[in-house]
A and B are shown apart, each in its own frame.
Chain A
Amino acid sequence: MGSLGNRPRGDGYNLNSTKTSELDAAEKIVVDELAPHVKAYVGSASTAMAQGGFTLMQAYNGDARQGIMESDDPDRWKFVFAKPSANLWMDNWAIATGAPHPDAAHAFINWIIAPDQALKEVDYIGYPTGSKSLTDKKVEDEFDYPELIFPAQEILDRLTASELNSGQQRRVDILTAAQARSGA
């Protein structure tokens, strides 16, 4: 539910909006219109897909791919990147300030982005990494459902990276209100 902010349909609001009027409008749509139809807020989309009981889910592409690949009936599912925008999420490898063994941390990161491991990792998590071995476009065809790992450039262009800004508290409040209102 990190991408709560992308709900304001086609009205052109940025999902990182901090404007009260836009967040009010988003809350109305999310809490009053959407929430009553939501059955659950689950941490792992792929697990929920395996368990059954859902027909429509909002999920990150890599999680969805994992769920589709593990499903007994993969054709039951189809993934679409939301329009007009959606959350572009990035995870990072970070070494904490004052970490006791930065060399070991660098060695680990070098290992995991080296060609062999990088491909295995991408295949498992379902998201591209910063490894050089992925710069060759031909590599993409080696994966199942490559279109879910490597979205086309025009899709990437319309996505929005989330920001931690002063709208965060309000977004959590909207999520809380939505959860209290949900239960299809």
Chain B
Amino acid sequence: MRRFAAKILGPGALAFPTWAYAVFFFVVPVALVLFYSFGYKPDEFTTVATDRLSLERYAESMTGSFLATFAATLRISVLGTILCLLISVPFAYWLAVKVPANRRGVLLAIVMVPFWTNFLVRTLGWQIILSPDGFLSDGLQQLGLLSGPLNILYTRAAVQIGVVYNYLPLMILPLFVAMDSAGQALREASYDLGAGRLSTFFRITMPLAMPGVASGCLLVFIPLTGDYVTATVLGGANGSMIGQIIANQFNTAQNWALGAAMAVVLILVTLAVVAVAAAVLWLGRLITARLTRVQLEGI
């Protein structure tokens, strides 16, 4: 105990802002959500009671509509993460390798500028762009590319566009950092040894950028799965996401216990998906390492 106190008051005190932030803004709120999820809603005017703890709220949350919306959410978030990755890889590569160093700052700033605007306002902007009476719809009709008004707003496609737009910088930035530091020297060595552009990209640049791919995917997938704003603003009925159902329990039903149980399920499923993806990637690397191992002993 004394050693613990010495740690907290000694070196630990220096790190106070960091661990206090983690404790008060992460550990405590998540612990409260977990605790409430074992409680129940005693009457119309009380949101949660915890004098009797049970797993009943978890059983209660597993309705057909909850699971259907959950499946739809995972489809949106997995597809959204893949789309972000597919767009970001060439862009980050171009930015890190092809663009002269003195222009990179400006281009990075352009990637960041939308982030200076509020998330909700950015998403509302897409309502105007995708609106059936909006300028995009009118323009496409005048060009003869559309025969009727644009019918994307309030569909799953609108949510998909919105999440890719909202989370794209979170994928570009780690990829850019990873590719920027993934040495030019190694790429040149690869060319010298006779490798072509594609071969160099897939055997040198991409493997070195893998930590960036992994952190980018985490940064996009996790918040995207719990996103509630994009689906509410652009989603309509078939673009519903699980975050909205959880919000309904907290706001409209005033049932914090059930909402908390649903939130815990969301956290666990998100972690499970990340764990499965990590396991698959790890296996894949293990297999490719086996297959492409270079034998030096015979030389």
Least CB distance, B84 to chain A, in whole angstroms: 24
Is B253 an interface residue when CB atoms closer than 8 A count as contact? yes
Is B200 an interface residue when CB atoms closer than 8 A count as contact? no
Q: Are A53 and B149 in contact (CB under 8 A)?
A: yes
A-B contact pairs, 5 of them (CB 8 A): A40-B237, A42-B154, A169-B258, A176-B248, A177-B65
Point out residues on B near A: beta carbons under 8 Å.
Answer: 41, 44-45, 63-66, 68-69, 72, 127-128, 131-134, 149, 151, 153-156, 232, 235-240, 244-245, 248-249, 252-255, 258
Is A182 an interface residue when CB atoms closer than 8 A count as contact? yes
Query: B-facing mask of A143-184, CB < 8 A → 1, else 0?
Result: 000000000000000000000111011001101110111111
Q: Are B236 and A172 in contact (CB under 8 A)?
A: no
Least CB distance, B6 to chain A, in whole angstroms: 43
* Given pairs A180-B69, A183-B239, 7 additional interface contacts (CB within 8 A): A39-B154, A40-B237, A53-B151, A164-B45, A172-B252, A172-B255, A182-B238
Q: Are A165 and B131 in contact (CB under 8 A)?
A: no
A182 to B237, alpha carbons, bound, how many Å?
Answer: 5
Determine the chain A residues whose CB is within 8 A of the CB of B133 once the complex forms: 50-53
A40 to B66, alpha carbons, bound, how many Å?
Answer: 18
Q: Are B154 and A164 in contact (CB under 8 A)?
A: no
Closest 5 CB pairs of A and B: A183-B238, A182-B237, A40-B236, A52-B133, A180-B65
CB-contact partner of B153 in A41, A51, A166, A176, under 8 A:
A51
Determine the chain A residues whose CB is within 8 A of the CB of B236 once the complex forms: 39-42, 183
A40 to B153, alpha carbons, bound, how many Å?
Answer: 10
Q: Are A168 and B237 in contact (CB under 8 A)?
A: no
Determine the chain A residues whose CB is within 8 A of the CB of B64 once the complex forms: 177, 180
A173 to B237, alpha carbons, bound, how many Å?
Answer: 15
Is A43 an interface residue when CB atoms closer than 8 A count as contact? yes
A42 to B68, alpha carbons, bound, how many Å?
Answer: 20
Closest chain A residue to B69 by CB distance? Answer: A180
Determine the chain B residues whose CB is within 8 A of the CB of A172 once the complex forms: 248-249, 252-253, 255
CB-contact partner of B154 in A53, A168, A169, A176, under 8 A:
A53
Determine the chain A residues whose CB is within 8 A of the CB of B155 once the complex forms: 183
A176 to B239, alpha carbons, bound, how many Å?
Answer: 13
A166 to B254, alpha carbons, bound, how many Å?
Answer: 12
Query: B-facing mask of A76-96, CB < 8 A → 1, else 0?
Result: 000000000000000000000
Query: B-facing mask of A44-77, CB < 8 A → 1, else 0?
Result: 0001001111000000000000000000000000
Q: Are A173 and B63 in contact (CB under 8 A)?
A: yes
Q: Are B253 and A168 in contact (CB under 8 A)?
A: yes
Q: Are A52 and B68 in contact (CB under 8 A)?
A: no
Q: Are A176 and B232 in contact (CB under 8 A)?
A: no
A50 to B236, alpha carbons, bound, how many Å?
Answer: 16
Q: Are A175 and B248 in contact (CB under 8 A)?
A: yes
Most chain A CB neighbours (cut-off 10 Å) among B151, B232, B237: B237
CB-contact partner of B237 in A50, A166, A169, A179, under 8 A:
A179
Is A105 an interface residue when CB atoms closer than 8 A count as contact? no
Closest chain B residue to A165 by CB distance? Answer: B44
Determine the chain A residues whose CB is within 8 A of the CB of B72 once the complex forms: 180
Q: Are A168 and B44 in contact (CB under 8 A)?
A: yes
Q: Are A175 and B252 in contact (CB under 8 A)?
A: yes
A53 to B130, alpha carbons, bound, how many Å?
Answer: 11
Least CB distance, A59 to chain B, in whole angstroms: 15
Closest chain A residue to B234 by CB distance? Answer: A40
Q: Are B44 and A176 in contact (CB under 8 A)?
A: no
A7 to B237, alpha carbons, bound, how many Å?
Answer: 18
A151 to B65, alpha carbons, bound, how many Å?
Answer: 37
Q: Are A39 and B44 in contact (CB under 8 A)?
A: no
Least CB distance, A122 to chain B, in whole angstroms: 27
A104 to B151, alpha carbons, bound, how many Å?
Answer: 48
Determine the chain B residues whose CB is within 8 A of the CB of A176 once the complex forms: 63, 65-66, 69, 245, 248
Determine the chain B residues whose CB is within 8 A of the CB of A166 once the complex forms: 44
